Amino acid sequence: MRAALIFPPQWDPRHPPLAPAVLAGALRSAGAETRIFDLNIALYRRLLMPTGPHGIEDFLLSRLLNPHSLCNAESYLQTCQQAQKIFDERFDRHGTGRLFWDTCGGLPSAVTSRGWQDSVHSPEKLIFLRHLESEIAEIRQWTPDLISISAISDTQLAATLALAALFRRALPDSRIILGGAAITYRRSILPAQAWLRSTIDAVCLGDGEPLMTALASGVAPNETPNSLSWNEAGAALFGTAILQDMSFLQPPDFSKFPLKEYLTPHLVIPVETARGCPWGRCAFCIHPVRAVTGRPLYRPRPMNLVAAEIAQHFIAGHRRFLIVDEALPPPRLRELADIFADLPEPVSWIGYSRLDAGHDREGFIRARASGCRKLFIGVESGSDRILTRFHKGVDAARARRVLLDAAAAGLAVHSFLMTGFPDEDESDRQATLDLLADAWPAFEPFGVSFDLFPLTGELETDLMANPPAFGWKGPQRDARNDLAWQFPLSHGPAAAESLAEFKSRIHKLADRVLGPAFGLRHASLAQDSLHLLLLEARTRKS
């Protein structure tokens, strides 16, 4: 079997995506001939190609890819902004689409079935696909038996659907499967979208490996595990739900990725040590995978397999890693630190964590000594009332203690913060500001960063299952959001103004306690690898 694994635009062009690498590992072990088509990085690269002999593109690219450029973070980010101007000029010259480093705008709606149908019925309207004509032609000429398109973000959905439609027309005998978080988050609402059956053979609703392995061994798409498909009458067909046994997980295969193409001075390799969240109870979070009992399901990989995978990456020359797990529990953070510390040369890494009681200064010191630079943590709020109501499993006192321990260990922390909770009042917001005011002065100012999100109701969460229990009326669902997986609790100018006002107060607090000098909080970075590279370069400089 020939399998084309496609990663469509738009996603962060600075590091290779894990999802197609995981599928490539599974398909390779099942004996399939597999090729990776990262159309996202192909698009960014195409847009940055020089149009004449004295274009600025070569200069910008050399700055973007030069490790020494990282030593001046502000200057490096200015280079990114200059490249942004080129994206603006070239991405969708006559359309409404906008391409950024971290997102994409102006495309058919990702949250309405009408938007999905627009992408399928008029793929040529996605003007930016013209930049990918040669890659699309290459896939067609290869005539794969299987085309798998991974959409891990809503920003990829328009291209995912348009590409599926193009390949359905050009390669009617190829099987087309869609997967990734942007698909699985919608697992409860996709069965009603039977019209998709004319364009795709199935979508993957869970772990991709069992589905891919079954396809490679000749099982029909509608009989593969974890699949959703539709029969001719439009009835939804569900494959058997199978959880991938983490003890038998094949290592992800990056060998066929265009690793020299990513727009970064150093590759940061994603590593998955577990699936699901060890806590899994936050009332607003769609991330937890639930067992049949309804309880959260945390599936760690045996650490010897994690160590073997990291060792393979090290042998391949990689020295920087992003641990993609939802949250590293304290024992796993320590074990992982030991794995990195045992490598023959120093490495750097970042990951996600919770404010678990078991995290302490000693564990963080061990992580920092092994090369951990920064942890991304869902702090959400400093209000105990809100933390309790939304089952965060943390109170502000513990949050303070854990953040101060991380600071004492020399780690940087990115805080995910939330606002817009029903009946949130000034005392709740002040509690968040007080928490940050106590914790931030203990950190090295450059590495401190945060995001402030408005609370949304997400499918399959406690908040969506029983909105009144959380003081919410629930979402209004109609044709304007029939394929949305998250719903704002408050709308309109007043909500936007309230969000902006709180964000401004947090920035003012940061300026007061951290000083006015440039830091990562000014860089508006998503939780991406650039945090790691800029922190590492700064440490080297000092």
Kindly indicate which of the ranges 58-66, 239-247, 255-263, 276-284 contains the residues binding ligand SF4, using the contact rule CB under 6 A: 276-284
- The beta strand positions in 23-91, using DSSP E, are 33-38
Q: Please report which helix (H) or strand (E) contains residue 376, including its range.
A: strand 372-380
For ligand SF4, give the closer residue by CB, 206 or 378: 378
Question: Is residue 288 part of the contact set for ligand SF4 (CB under 6 A)?
Answer: yes
Work out which of 20, 97, 252, 378 binds ligand SF4, going by CB under 6 A. 378
Kindly indicate which of the ranges 18-26, 188-196, 273-281, 500-508 contains the residues binding ligand SF4, using the contact rule CB under 6 A: 273-281
Question: Is residue 280 part of the contact set for ligand SF4 (CB under 6 A)?
Answer: yes
Residue 286 beta carbon to ligand SF4: minimum distance, rounded to whole angstroms = 8
For ligand SF4, give the closer residue by CB, 13 or 280: 280
Sheet holding 146-150, edge to edge: 33-38, 2-7, 146-150, 175-179, 202-204, 227-230, 236-238
Work out which of 37, 279, 349, 364 binds ligand SF4, going by CB under 6 A. 279
- Give the DSSP per-residue string, 301-345: PPHHHHHHHHHHHHHTT--EEEE-SS---HHHHHHHHHHHHTSSS
Residue 424 beta carbon to ligand SF4: minimum distance, rounded to whole angstroms = 17
Work out which of 70, 161, 267, 285 binds ligand SF4, going by CB under 6 A. 285
Question: Is residue 421 part of the contact set for ligand SF4 (CB under 6 A)?
Answer: no
Max distance between CA atoms of the chain, in angstroms, equals 67
Residue numbers 193-212 binding ligand SF4 by CB under 6 A: none
Question: Is residue 282 part of the contact set for ligand SF4 (CB under 6 A)?
Answer: yes
Cα distance between residue 406 and residue 342, in whole Å: 22
242, 225 Cβ separation under 8 angstroms: yes
Kindly indicate which of the ranges 14-22, 184-192, 279-287, 511-519 contains the residues binding ligand SF4, using the contact rule CB under 6 A: 279-287
Site string for ligand SF4, 113-142 (x = CB under 6 A): ------------------------------
Residue 450 beta carbon to ligand SF4: minimum distance, rounded to whole angstroms = 15
Cα distance between residue 530 and residue 535, in whole Å: 8
Kindly indicate which of the ranges 200-208, 257-265, 277-285, 528-536 contains the residues binding ligand SF4, using the contact rule CB under 6 A: 277-285
Q: How many residues bind ligand SF4 (CB under 6 A)?
A: 11
Kindly indicate which of the ranges 282-290, 343-351, 486-494, 532-540 contains the residues binding ligand SF4, using the contact rule CB under 6 A: 282-290
Question: Is residue 455 part of the contact set for ligand SF4 (CB under 6 A)?
Answer: no
Residue 414 beta carbon to ligand SF4: minimum distance, rounded to whole angstroms = 13
For ligand SF4, give the closer residue by CB, 392 or 400: 392
Task: Give me the torsion for CA of 489, 492, 497, 499, rounded to 10°.
Answer: 20
Name the phi and psi angles at 458, rounded to 5. -115, 145
With a CB cutoff of 8 Å and minimum separation 6, the contacts of 103 are: 10, 155
Residue numbers 176-195 binding ligand SF4 by CB under 6 A: none
For ligand SF4, give the closer residue by CB, 277 or 436: 277
9, 43 Cβ separation under 8 angstroms: yes
Kindly indicate which of the ranges 16-24, 91-99, 283-291, 312-320 contains the residues binding ligand SF4, using the contact rule CB under 6 A: 283-291
Residue 470 beta carbon to ligand SF4: minimum distance, rounded to whole angstroms = 15
Cα distance between residue 263 and residue 527, in whole Å: 16
Cα distance between residue 249 and residue 50, in whole Å: 42
Kindly indicate which of the ranges 280-288, 396-404, 405-413, 509-517 contains the residues binding ligand SF4, using the contact rule CB under 6 A: 280-288
Residue 280 beta carbon to ligand SF4: minimum distance, rounded to whole angstroms = 5
Residue 355 beta carbon to ligand SF4: minimum distance, rounded to whole angstroms = 9
With a CB cutoff of 8 Å and minimum separation 6, the contacts of 81 are: none
Question: Is residue 356 part of the contact set for ligand SF4 (CB under 6 A)?
Answer: no
DSSP state of 247: G
Cα distance between residue 278 and residue 288, in whole Å: 8
Cα distance between residue 188 and residue 207, in whole Å: 16
For ligand SF4, give the closer residue by CB, 203 or 282: 282
Kindly indicate which of the ranges 37-45, 77-85, 281-289, 310-318 contains the residues binding ligand SF4, using the contact rule CB under 6 A: 281-289
Question: Is residue 287 part of the contact set for ligand SF4 (CB under 6 A)?
Answer: yes
Residue 447 beta carbon to ligand SF4: minimum distance, rounded to whole angstroms = 21
DSSP state of 103: -
Kindly indicate which of the ranges 19-27, 87-95, 237-245, 285-293 contains the residues binding ligand SF4, using the contact rule CB under 6 A: 285-293
Cα distance between residue 21 and residue 490, in whole Å: 38
Residue numbers 322-341 binding ligand SF4 by CB under 6 A: 326-327
Task: Give me the torsion for CA of 505, 507, 513, 515, rounded to 10°.
Answer: -140
Question: Is residue 354 part of the contact set for ligand SF4 (CB under 6 A)?
Answer: yes
Task: Give me the torsion for CA of 79, 43, 323, 255, rounded to 10°.
Answer: -120
Count Cβ atoms below 10 Å from residue 219 Cβ, excluding itself: 15
Long-range contacts of 395-399 (CB under 8 A, 24+ apart): 396/431, 396/434, 396/435, 398/355, 398/357, 399/355, 399/435, 399/439
Kindly indicate which of the ranges 185-193, 249-257, 274-282, 445-453 contains the residues binding ligand SF4, using the contact rule CB under 6 A: 274-282
For ligand SF4, give the closer residue by CB, 285 or 436: 285
Question: Is residue 8 part of the contact set for ligand SF4 (CB under 6 A)?
Answer: no
* C-alpha dist (Å) from residue 117 to 84, 96, 162, 197: 29, 18, 9, 12
- Interacting residues with ligand SF4 (CB under 6 A): 277, 279-280, 282, 285, 287-288, 326-327, 354, 378
